[in-house]
């Protein structure tokens, strides 16, 4: 490390290992396409589990017992919570949350932050709920791997929904304020 | 202009091959669910086409507004749906795995044709970008 760093800040403790990706002009477009793709992927992952559950049958050389567990409405609840949270988070005006530019009164900023908190809480609650469903409904009953897949699909649905919301948030905040909106 | 005519002929052949694959994937197993893939991919450029007229303003230099973003989001959802639908159907053994592969290949040919056509014969925006 004999060469001095490009932007060296002596106050900095850790060196940021993330590469400074700049897609330039198309960053917003790419981010939004990516967010939509993740959104569809999330919902199709869960729908795959639901359709598979509706068509489930044991392997043909086994005795033909009915499957012990199905995807019921309980499995749908975490996804619905995540979806509501994602909608709420993206409805918030992002300039209003910052509240430092002297725009708007303090009460509006407070309300915006409260609604944003509710949105993120819904998303986190959806993720936590999916993990809860995975453990309580599938893992502690020691089902076969064919059936625990429903729970894993539920968790991955919620993770992908959260990723989609994050990507959408980052890509919608315009270019110059990139570092700033990440620090909210 | 000769290049344009060649491109049109090539693209139409690719489009025909794509539809052939999709229809074969339906007809060989006499299970017409993969035909949804064709509808999905034909529908895919529609939100972009609708919403791109909403946000464009001569004075706003910064790209992107709410409606344009919504159109891109929906387009991306539809494209991923087109790929995910045959996979899901094949996973739950509604359609055969070969039919799934054929409909995915056919669908991506159709969508690639649409993309290439709009990319090649774009008229208005190319002067300004």
B91 to A52: CB separation less than 8 angstroms, yes or no: yes
pLDDT at residue A65, as a whole number: 72
> Of A139, A149, A138, A131, which is closest to residue A82 (Cα–Cα)?
A131
Alpha-carbon span B97 to B103, nearest angstrom: 10
B128 — pLDDT class (breaks 50, 70, 90)? very low
How far CA B14 is from CA of A73, B17, B34, B97, in Å, comes to 44, 5, 19, 23
pLDDT at residue B55, as a whole number: 61
B13-42 pLDDT, tens digit per residue, is 999 999 998 898 888 888 888 888 888 888
Mean pLDDT of chain A: 79
A48 to B81: CB separation less than 8 angstroms, yes or no: no
> Of A132, A118, A134, A123, which is closest to residue A158 (Cα–Cα)?
A123
Q: Calculate ∠ Cα B23-B27-B33, nearest 5°.
A: 75
Q: Measured between beta carbons, which residues in chain A are less than 8 angstroms from residue B62?
A: 174
DSSP secondary structure, B64-103, as one string: --HHHHHHHHHHHHHHHHHHHHHHHHHHTTSS-HHHHHHH
B80 to A36: CB separation less than 8 angstroms, yes or no: yes
Averaged pLDDT, A95-107: 66
Query: Does B88 reach chain A within 8 Å, measured CB to CB?
Result: yes
A109-141 pLDDT, tens digit per residue, is 888 888 889 999 999 999 999 999 999 988 888
Asked if residue A158 lies in contact with residue A78, where contact means CB atoms within 8 angstroms, the answer is yes
Alpha-carbon span A146 to A56, nearest angstrom: 9
b/e per residue, A100-133, with b = 16+ CB within 10 A?
A: eeeeeeeeebeebbebbeebbebbebbbebbbbb
Q: Which residue has the higher pLDDT, A62 or B120?
A: B120
Q: Measured between beta carbons, which residues in chain B are less than 8 angstroms from residue A32?
A: 64, 69, 72-73, 76
> Of B112, B110, B118, which is closest to residue B35 (Cα–Cα)?
B110
B50-96 pLDDT, tens digit per residue, is 887 776 555 554 555 778 888 888 999 999 999 999 999 888 888 88
Q: State the ipTM, two decimals.
A: 0.80
At residue B4, does pLDDT exceed 70?
Answer: yes
Alpha-carbon span B106 to B59, nearest angstrom: 41
Residue of chain B minimizing CA distance to A43: B81
A10 — pLDDT class (breaks 50, 70, 90)? low
Query: Does B46 reach chain A within 8 Å, measured CB to CB?
Result: no
B81 to A40: CB separation less than 8 angstroms, yes or no: yes
Q: Measured between beta carbons, which residues in chain B are less than 8 angstroms from residue A25?
A: 63
Q: Measured between beta carbons, which residues in chain A are less than 8 angstroms from residue B37?
A: none
Residues of chain A whose C-beta is under 8 A from some C-beta in B? 25, 28-29, 32-37, 39-41, 44, 47-48, 51-52, 54-55, 168, 172, 174
Residue of chain A minimizing CA distance to B68: A29
A153 — pLDDT class (breaks 50, 70, 90)? very high
B77 to A28: CB separation less than 8 angstroms, yes or no: no
């Amino acid at each position: 490390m004999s060469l001095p760093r490009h932007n060296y800040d002596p106050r900095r403790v850790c060196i940021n290992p993330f590469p400074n990706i700049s897609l330039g002009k198309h960053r917003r477009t790419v981010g939004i396409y990516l967010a939509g793709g993740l959104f569809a992927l999330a919902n199709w992952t869960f729908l795959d589990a639901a359709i598979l559950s509706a068509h489930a049958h044991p392997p043909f050389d086994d005795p033909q017992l009915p499957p012990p567990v199905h995807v019921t409405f309980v499995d749908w609840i975490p996804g619905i919570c995540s979806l509501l949270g994602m909608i709420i988070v993206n409805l918030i005006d992002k300039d209003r949350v910052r509240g430092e530019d002297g725009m708007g009164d303090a009460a509006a900023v407070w309300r915006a932050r409260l609604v944003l908190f509710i949105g993120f809480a819904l998303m986190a609650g959806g993720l936590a709920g999916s993990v809860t469903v995975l453990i309580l409904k599938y893992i502690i009953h020691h089902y076969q791997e064919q059936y625990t897949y429903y729970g894993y699909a539920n968790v991955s649905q919620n993770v992908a929904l959260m990723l989609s919301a994050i990507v959408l948030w980052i890509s919608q905040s315009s270019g110059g304020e990139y570092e700033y909106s990440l620090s909210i | 202009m000769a290049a344009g005519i060649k491109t049109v002929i090539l693209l139409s052949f690719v489009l025909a091959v794509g539809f052939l694959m999709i229809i074969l994937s339906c007809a060989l197993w006499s299970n017409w669910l993969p035909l949804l893939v064709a509808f999905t991919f034909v529908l895919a450029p529609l939100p972009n086409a609708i919403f791109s007229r909403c946000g464009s303003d001569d004075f706003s230099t910064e790209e992107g507004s709410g409606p344009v973003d919504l159109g891109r989001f929906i387009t991306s959802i539809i494209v991923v749906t087109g790929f995910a639908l045959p996979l899901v159907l094949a996973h739950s053994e509604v359609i055969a795995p070969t039919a799934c592969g054929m409909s995915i290949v056919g669908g991506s040919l159709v969508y690639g044709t649409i993309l290439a056509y709009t990319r090649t014969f774009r008229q208005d925006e190319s002067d300004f970008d």
